[in-house]
Amino acid sequence: MIFEWSLDAYRNGGISLGIESRSTERIGADLTESRTTTTPDLEVAYEISGRADGQPLVAVHGWPDDPHCWDGLLPRLHEAGYRVIRPYLRGFGTTRFRDSQKMRSGQIAALGKDLADLLDSLDLSDVVLVGHDWGARAAYVVGALFPQRVERIVAISAGYATGRADAPLDWELAHAYWYEWFVATERGRHAMRVHRRSFCQYLWATWSPSWVFDEAEFQQAASTWDNDDWPLVTVHAYLHRWGEADGDPAYEQIEQRLAESVPVLRPTLVIHGGQDADNLPHTTAGQQHLFRAGYRRLVLEDIGHFPPREAPGLVADAILSSRGSPR
């Protein structure tokens, strides 16, 4: 394991719109409820479990994945006293846009605003915000621009990147991001619409070269990509990231702030797999200057892009050690 410390080894540094209960299931011995909540743009589906009066821990999945990526961590988080909330991102599962005319944007500003709106809708405070991949990028936006409800952040497999499409990019990373260029072609967009399962199964296998995942585990995640908005959000995310598509004007002010590399204002732990073949490990190195309240980096040397699935115990340990016991 590799540790990177700053600020004296990481010192402690809306409107509620209603919730509808959908169903319940058991993860191990812990009861999980499926609910929805309304935000300005979305009907957000989410899973919730753990002690009813526990400190909220909001765990946000990445792409291409789903909230079940956190299942292996839940027993430890519940035992530690957390109330764990796992939302489905826009375009995933049963999360739906409220307005049929709303742009199906996947830009980072939209993901971040969705997450800030979710915290407002559920009226949460002192939140431990945990995000993987797209979820990590959303968490950075909240930590930088909407930090009021957040206590600390744990970001996994993604660095805090500038919002500029012309940001420097080395050739090794350009090669790793081939799929992001692929969707700029009609062939790539067709793959997102028609062959999303086989396409993403190849990404899972190549992004974590030492991980042999279970077919049932993959198919469970893949079932949440059957949302009609999934290919639209996916394609726009990568076209917008590299300046090949305009963003939703509703998020222009957020985009302008992100282009200035506005710092994250909450203590942050970054976890990265040393074998990550997507967001290469060096993309999270040396970012202390972007974090005002403390930054710590943990590299798991034999892990790929999906640490919550590949090494749930190590990830749970890191979350729990990032600031001792919950309140």
Written as tens digits, the pLDDT of the chain (327 aa) is 555 443 333 333 332 334 444 455 554 446 899 999 999 999 999 999 999 999 999 999 999 999 999 999 999 999 999 999 999 999 999 999 999 999 999 999 999 999 999 999 999 999 999 999 999 999 999 999 999 999 999 999 999 986 677 888 899 999 999 999 999 999 999 999 999 999 999 999 999 999 999 999 999 999 999 999 999 999 999 999 999 999 999 999 999 999 988 999 999 999 999 999 999 999 999 999 999 999 999 999 999 999 999 999 999 999 999 874 444
- Structural domain includes residue 326: no
Are 36 and 43 in contact by the 8 Å Cβ rule? The answer is: yes
C-alpha to C-alpha distance for 224 and 64, rounded to whole angstroms? 9
- Structural domain includes residue 38: yes
* Domain of residue 60, CATH code: 3.40.50.1820
- Structural domain includes residue 327: no
- Structural domain includes residue 109: yes
**What is the pTM assigned to this prediction?**
0.91
Parent domain of 248: 2-321
Into how many domains does the chain fold?
1
C-alpha to C-alpha distance for 156 and 304, rounded to whole angstroms? 11
- Structural domain includes residue 247: yes
Which residues lie closer than 8 Å to 57 by C-beta, 6 or more apart?
50, 77, 82, 83, 84, 85, 127, 128, 129, 130, 319, 326
